[in-house]
Chains A and B, each alone.
Chain A
């Protein structure tokens, strides 16, 4: 191919490039075939499984505690932005169904600098997100302990951090050594969670519209309907919408990608948005702002208790544990693919994508995911972790929309997406503006940390991979 990637990095490695033939069931290279094994259900399970843990089980307390029922608007805003990005991402993914997802699209659409920054911050963004899920898991584990009668008094925060760290180490070790396919388990967990939620929300809605009545504690604090607070909460809870980009990181393994990728990405966003809005509606309908605020990360457990008694609380605790685990696990998997995508293009040393012989797993990449996750999880800073993860993802989302506009304008010969976003540049332009705009409503410290990460990744580009050229290369 005339416009293949070129150049060498500091170690003298060039990007790996070859021409391949994509079919619905396999990617065919010169000497080998790569089987596509993930179907639509698997894709939806990755998307929903990654997202649902945060949006349903961690954020209702935080978001509802801040602005009450107005948080439904925040989740709606988040969902609309996610959809505005999911559509352009689908078009890019069907044209380039490769491992690496957002990184791959941006490096091909906008060049190596943007590619390096996004590739590395996708890795780090996933690391922040995973740490956030693990801290959420820690809070649920704490509640589970309380439920069985082990009360943790003053040192609760330390216990949460300790559980998060242990879980982080556990997941990393399991992923390095585990050769059993957990994909079917993941599908089952997502199906179980969805059915639990539908039952729970159904009952909650009946209560909300007065068909059944439960005792709801009274409170004085009113909802806060205002553009500023709603958007600021939307920026916080946007971490609940990161999962569809994870679907794109396994694009190289999806069966019939032209059909399944758009369906899995758009479908998972739509499904979780509906669930989130209903959940927050039910939660804020039962508890007022101050009650949710005092219950914190696991406010949903109290909601469950109020609706269905101890059984309800138990269901939510089990659901919360499963959901945060599946989020964390799915994120670690996508992280190793993100690192592989970058390393294949010589933007990270080649050894980052080594596979170990004994287990057949990419132990270096998994370590590069798990190590920083454990460090970050130890901080126990739910909000900061969530917002930095959102920040790094939002930058990627915005740039993916820009990349779509750029690629459509350049029209490389190979660009032939199966799925085309209707309406010309309207959706990607809105998506980019919304993604970048949401960042402005974040907490100052989160923005600062995010900018520092971006600056560090740009510095890496100038140090290591300045001579690599990827733009327009398939």
Chain B
């Protein structure tokens, strides 16, 4: 089952918009209530004072999620470091995506970004699970300004380095339905293949190819007309170090909620590497 982590600043007025609650109605949800403390304050001390209030607020939120359809549970964490907490809990509950909550009404159309070196296969499966059989349209977005990754077509050669290629992964996704085994090398073709896959799942799909300029600006420009954004997790870069996580910036620029699909490629490979070692 697909699981989404929804972090909220539970004691700082953090809340979840009704639109996000209904959007996540078809998947399982873990509500992560966090409270960030300045370093002067031992987390335990804050827990003693705020635990009851935070727990009752969290229970309310997770009931709302449960009422919308999916299974919902909640965790409460007192921390000095929000990112570390979200990362740890995402791993522990094995969530497929985490939400950057934003304000939205009912969701009619999602903007799904496939730009950059993201795990496109996972993003697409996540969108299928998220939409389910509901009447929610999807706009697939790809910024052509990004150089398409050079093709390393040998998808089996996964154990050599920590990095597999987007194209190779996209191929995996394609191979199931594409009898000709034509390899899509252009961004246009990648987009078309992804759209076909979602259409097969019965989703109304449009595509947008941003020709030039910064992929980030192009994505934000594409947001109007959409109620929420789905994007893949990307490795931390210098830009994210300076300007903050891309997902946070998209959320800030678009006001609406952003769902970040986690990249499991590195973890999968770590597992693949670990298994033979354990067998020896």
A residues whose Cβ falls under 8 Å from a Cβ of B = 16, 25-27, 29, 31-35, 37-38, 98-99, 175-176, 178-183, 250, 252-253, 333, 336-337, 340, 344, 353-355, 359-362, 366
Contact = CB atoms under 8 A, between A and B. Distances in A.
Interface centre among A37, A182, A340 (most CB of B within 10 A): A37
B55 interface: yes
Task: Kindly list the 4 A-B residue pairs having the minimum CB-CB distance in the complex, ordered from nearest.
Answer: A35-B79, A34-B43, A32-B76, A37-B80
A253 B84 CA distance: 13
A455 B76 CA distance: 42
B48 interface: yes
B88 A16 contact: no
Nearest to A176: B40
Interface in B202-242: none
Contact of B78 (A33, A179, A182): A33
Nearest to A180: B38
Contacts of A252: 42-44
B200 interface: no
A34 B78 contact: yes
Given A32-B77, A35-B85, A362 B40 contact: yes
B78 A35 contact: yes
Contacts of A31: 51, 55, 76
A127 to B, nearest CB: 16
Contact of B39 (A29, A176, A333): A333
Interface in B33-91: 35, 37-51, 54-55, 75-81, 84-85, 88
B45 A362 contact: yes
A253 B39 CA distance: 10
B161 to A, nearest CB: 27
Contacts of A180: 38
28 contacts: A16-B48, A27-B43, A29-B47, A31-B76, A32-B78, A33-B75, A33-B76, A34-B43, A34-B44, A35-B77, A35-B80, A35-B81, A35-B85, A37-B80, A37-B81, A38-B80, A99-B45, A180-B38, A181-B39, A182-B39, A253-B43, A336-B41, A336-B42, A353-B49, A362-B40, A362-B41, A362-B42, A366-B40
Interface of B: 35, 37-51, 54-55, 75-81, 84-85, 88
Nearest to A255: B84
Contacts of A99: 42, 44-45
Given A37-B79, A252-B44, A253-B43, A354 B51 contact: no
Contacts of A337: 42
A16 B51 CA distance: 13
Contacts of B50: 355
B77 A26 contact: yes
A181 B88 contact: no
A33 B48 CA distance: 12
A180 B39 CA distance: 8
B39 to A, nearest CB: 5
Given A182-B39, A359-B38, A353 B88 contact: no
Nearest to A174: B40
